Structures are given as C-alpha cells and as structure tokens.
A and B are shown apart, each in its own frame.
Chain A
Amino acid sequence: MGAGVERIPVVAETDHLREIPPGKMAIWVFLASEILVFGGLITAFVLYQFAHGGFSADAAHVKWRFGAFNTLVLVTSSMTMIRALASARANDRARTQMFLLLTVLLGCAFLGVKTFEYSSEMREGFYPSSGMFWSFYFGMTGLHALHMMAGIAINLMLLIAVTRELPWEFLRRRIEYGGLYWHFVDVVWIFLFPLLYLT
C-alpha cells in the first residue's frame, strides 16, 4: 500500500519565484512594510491637515532652503550609489570604493544639515511638543534620519567588504540590496520635503 501512495508536493514550485534571488525578495518585502510605516504617517498628517484647515502658521517657520539643499544632497547620493553598483558590475574596485565613500559622505552631509536645522528650530522655541505640526515634523523627519543612519552603516560595511577584496559575486548582490534600501530612503524624502516644507 505504501509503495502505491503518490507524493504530492505541499508547495507548488513555480519558475516565477525561482527567478528572484531570496535576498532581493527579502529586501522588497522589508521595503513594502516600510511603505506602510511612512505611508501611515503621511496619511495621518494629510488627513489631520485636511480636518483642521492646514498648518500654514507653523509650517512658515521651517526653513525650506535647508530642505531643498538636503533634497539635492540625497538625490546626488542616490546617483553615486547606483554608480557604485555599476562599477561593481564592471569589476572596478577603485571606482566602487570611491562611489560608496561619496554616498556615505553625502549621507553624513544630509544628517549634518538636519542636525543644524533641528538646533536652529529648537533655539526658536519649536520642539516636538510645540503642537501637532511639530510633532509630525520631528516624528517623520526623525524616523527618516534614523533610516539614513542605518543606510550609512550599511554602506560603510559594504565599503569595508569591497576594501577586503571579497568575491565580486558576493559584493554585487549586497551592493544592489544596500542600494535598494538607500534609494527607498531617498524616495521617502522626495515626498516628505514638499509635504513638510512647501505646502
């Protein structure tokens, strides 16, 4: 009887799933969960604004020039990050290192400007407890800054891995995944900047 029983696979294997490397699948699942985190905050901010007639008086105190400069820094860092991946694909170790280092430096520049901005706002008497706008502002930009710190740490680890001359196949995948995270953080800022500084 046992010999006659046909084994049925519990999970159907499909070619579609096998095409995507597990690491890439994992990073996209993570990014999808991050969309919900930032999406929830952005939705709450927009709806609160809609319900209470806007935050114009408070929003007038944020310094849009700093925000604009940081946007320029961040989109430039996205360009250097993708060029690090292109260099890794061409097996060019020196350029990969250079572009990763530039990405880290631009990330640090972003955080430096943000720190200066926070301190000038606090000197003017605006804290997270100063009202609903400031709670949202410090909450959303602070959470974004934490993601930037994680991105800088990841890029530093990648830089060390490239310097240690680990195999290219290993490096390329990790630079690609690190890059996906970095670009996502850039996309979040692309929406946070007009939301908090320009409208």
Chain B
Amino acid sequence: MSETTTGAIDTRAESSLYMMIWAWLVFLLIAGLVIFVLPIPRTAAVIAIFSFAAIKAALVLRNYMHLKHEHLLIYLMVLVPALLFLGMALTLIPDIVYRHHFGLGQ
C-alpha cells in the first residue's frame, strides 16, 4: 500500500517535471522565433537562436532521455561522436579560409 502511494506521488512529481520541461521548450522556441522576426543584427541573432537550440537539446537529453541519471559510459558514448564531428568541422575551417577567403591554393 505504502509502495503504491509513494509510486503515485513519484509519478505526479515526474509528470509535473516533464510538463515544466515542455513549457521551457515551448518558451525557448517562441524566444528564438521572436529574435528571428525582430530586426536584430544577423550574427547576434544566429548566436542567440543556436544557443536556445543547444539549451533545448540539453533539456531533452538530461530530462526526457534521463542522461542526468545515466552512467559515465553513456555520457562518453554521446560525447565521443559529438566531439568527432566538431573536430572534423574545426579541422576543415582553415582550409576553407585559405582557399575561399584569401583566394589561395585554387
């Protein structure tokens, strides 16, 4: 009986957390759209929009995918490929700058 009661309380607490996370996701979506619509300098707008996207992704990963309760090994499995493609992008940027922005190496 006590187990059922505790379980019910846990579920209610969980559900309200999930609803709160959803409200934050909707708020961040609307905030990104407001920045897109307003006449804000492009670079600042892009940085803000992608910062909001990163926060939204973190909220989903931590709360809906339960990463905040996961083992370090799971974190590493997500981090390694993410760092790999970031590394790939950063490695290619100097080549693009060299070839296209300075018109060299064509």
Q: Which residues of A contact B (CB under 8 A)?
A: 16-17, 19-20, 24, 28-29, 31-33, 35-36, 39-40, 42-43, 46-47, 50-52, 64, 68, 71-72, 75-76, 78-79, 81-83, 86-87, 89-90, 92, 179-180, 183-184, 186-187, 190-191, 193-194, 198-199
Residues of chain A contacted by B56 (CB below 8 angstroms) = 75, 190
Closest CB-CB distance, B104 to chain A, in whole Å?
A: 13
Q: In chain B, residues 27-64, which have Cβ atoms closer than 8 Å to a Cβ of chain A?
A: 29, 32-33, 36, 46, 49-50, 52-53, 56-57, 60-61, 63-64
Separation of A79 and B15 alpha carbons in the complex (Å):
9
User: Which residue from chain B places its CB closest to the CB of A24 in the assembled complex?
Assistant: B74
Contact across chains for A75 and B82 when beta carbons are under 8 A apart: no
Given contacts A20-B71, A72-B26, contact A194 B53 (CB under 8 A): yes
Q: In the assembled complex, how far is the CB of residue A39 from the closest CB belonging to chain B, in whole angstroms?
A: 3
Question: Is B1 on the interface with A (CB-CB < 8 A)?
Answer: no
Per DSSP, chain A at the interface is helix
Once the chains bind, are A47 and B7 in contact (CB under 8 Å)? no
Closest to A71 in B: B29
Task: Kindly list chain B residues whose C-beta atoms are within 8 Å of the C-beta of A40.
Answer: 85, 88
Q: Please pick, from A52, A75, A79, A183, the residue contacting B65 in the complex, using a CB distance under 8 A.
A: A183
Chain A: minimal CB distance from B105 (Å): 13
Contact at B78–A20, with CB atoms within 8 Å? no
Q: Name the 5 nearest CB pairs between A and B, nearest first.
A: A39-B85, A79-B22, A35-B81, A90-B11, A75-B25
**6 A-B residue pairings within 8 Å (CB atoms):** A17-B73, A40-B85, A50-B93, A90-B11, A183-B65, A194-B52
Bound CA span A24–B74, Å? 9
Report Cα–Cα, A52/B21, bound state, in Å.
Answer: 38
**Least distance between B59 CB and chain A CB atoms (Å):** 9
